Amino acid sequence: MTSAQRLKLPLVLGTTILMALSVSWKIQQNNVNEFQQKIFELEQNIDGLSGTLSQDQEISLQKDLTSLVKDKVTLQNGVYVSLIQLLGGAFFFVTAYFTWRNVKTAEANLKATEEKQITERFSKSIEHLGSEKLEVRLGGIYSLERIAKDSEKDYWQVIEVLTAFVREKYKLETKQKPFKYSKTEDELMDEYIESQRYEQEYDYDDYEEVRRRSPNEEYIHPVPVEVQAVLSAIGRCAKPQNLLATESIDLSRTELSGVFLTGDLRGINFEGSNLQWVKIKEANLSRSNFSDTNLEVAQIENSNLQDANLQGLTLQWSRLINVILKGSNLENANLTESLLQKVVIDNAILSGTNFRKSRLMEVSLKKSDFEDSYLSGVDLSYADLKDLNLQFFDLDDAILKGADLENAVLDEADLKNVDFEEAILVRVSFRGANLKAAIFKGANLQEADFTGARLLGTDFRSAVNLSPDKVKMAKHWRAAIYDPEMRKELGLEPEGNE
């Protein structure tokens, strides 16, 4: 509440009280007038009856007259008091009114002065951004951050200036080439040496380029101080609610490799940017745009990317821990050999997403769309995969240890060498699936359907709730591996006697 508002409230109350006092004074004055009329009438009666009344009657009338006069005096005093209060209230009203006007004028002058100062600070800060000296540019960045915090009205202009500064100065001239995930570091080096020997064109400029793009190296990518300063400033400035749905912080097609992201970055646009080696911690990136962005070897922890656009994102060799990706679009994203631990990817679009040899540990993938995804060799230990439809999927060599696949559909899927140890496979459909050499140690197979599944070398030892009748509906069921008790129930000879 402003000073003017604080004064306006008693002003309104004072006006109300003044009106009440005015009404009260009017009523009291009317009462005085009535008493005056009664006194006059009584005096007239006494004069008219003079000589006809006894002494006692005359004394009684005189007493009544005296009493009326006293009451009149009392009422008259009350009228004077009310009049004084009325005049005092009027004085207060007039004084408060002029005080209120003065405060309003002072506030208007103060606001004009503040806006003038902000405008001057804004202009000076922009000048500083163009300086050749780093320390001057940093001063300009921090000054703009303060303006964004002090003035919500100027927030968006500040953000536009800061992002334009980074986009213009660190524009991504050519799209960063992704790592060749199919080759080891030694193979990359051999290729480089061979190209130098025959002076052939090579993807990378020199050995340093090969080394720094290798996921096997502990490489710390240098980050321009001013770029990090801008991103930190944006993260510290909370985005006004009225801008959340309408404006997007634009850092698209920018060279931002190695930066650290934290804070409020909702709705930020990194489309087509290079964010290799980025570190993201405790950041709110909900509804952000990372489409076609390179985040190879990224480290993302305790962050929110709900409803983010991650189409075509390159995230191979990255690490995501305690991250929310609920409702995000990961269509055609590349997460090869990445680690996702305690990540929520419910209701996400994963069409064409490459999870080859990735580790998805304690991940929730409920109601997500895996159409045409690459899951060969993926580690989905303890993941929540209930009700998923993975029909026709290639999951060979995958690890599904402890995963919950209740009611999942794996019909016609390639499940060679898959580890289902201690997995929850209640009412899972394996119809027509290739389960060659798959392991079901300790898995719960209650009501699991193996109709037409291929069980060559499939290991059912220690499996729980395995139904002999269901097993016999599979192909090559005699070639699977069972506990002695199960072999007996299936009518097979004890192992070694066949």
Pairwise CA distance, residues 32 & 24, whole Å = 12
Cα separation, 155 vs 110, whole angstroms: 20
Instruction: State whether residue 83 is helix, strand or coil.
Output: helix
The lowest-confidence range among 77-81, 185-189, 316-320, 344-348 is: 185-189
Q: What pTM does this model have? A: 0.69
Please check the confidence at residue 204 and state whether its pLDDT lies above 50: no
| Average pLDDT of every residue of the chain | 81
In tens, the pLDDT along 370-426 reads: 888 889 899 999 999 999 999 999 999 999 999 999 999 999 999 999 999 999 999
HEC readout, 19-36: HHHHHHHHHHHHHHHHHH
Distance of CA 175 to the CA centre of its chain: 29
| Amino acid (1-letter code) at residue 402 | G
Ramachandran region, residue 307 (left: φ > 0; alpha: ψ -120 to 50; beta: rest) = left
Min mean pLDDT across 240-244, 278-282, 482-486 is at 240-244
Q: How confident is the model at residue 180 (pLDDT cuts 50, 70, 90)?
A: very low
Angle at 225 between CA 221 and CA 231, to 5 degrees: 95
Q: What pLDDT is attached to residue 338?
A: 92
Structure confidence by residue, pLDDT tens digits, 97-142: 666 676 677 666 666 566 666 678 888 989 999 999 999 999 999 9
Q: Are 417 and 440 in contact (CB under 8 A)?
A: no
What's the CA gap between 157 and 164, in Å, rounded?
11
| Contact residues for 330 (Cβ-Cβ < 8 A; gap 6+) | 310, 311, 313, 345, 348, 349, 350, 353
Sign, Cα dihedral of 226, 231, 232, 234: positive
Answer for the pair 249, 269: CB distance below 8 angstroms, yes or no. yes
What secondary structure does DSSP assign to 397-421, as a single string? T-B-TT-B-TT-B-TT-B-TT-B-T
pLDDT at position 201 is: 44
Does domain 3-129 fall into CATH 1.10.10.10?
A: no
Residue the block writes with tokens 């990961």: 330
Q: Where are the domains of the chain?
A: 3-129
Buried residues in 397-436 as b, exposed as e (16+ CB within 10 A): bbbbbbbbbbbbbbbbbbbbbbbbbbbbbbbbbbbbbbbb
Confidence at residue 369, expressed as pLDDT on a 0 to 100 scale: 86
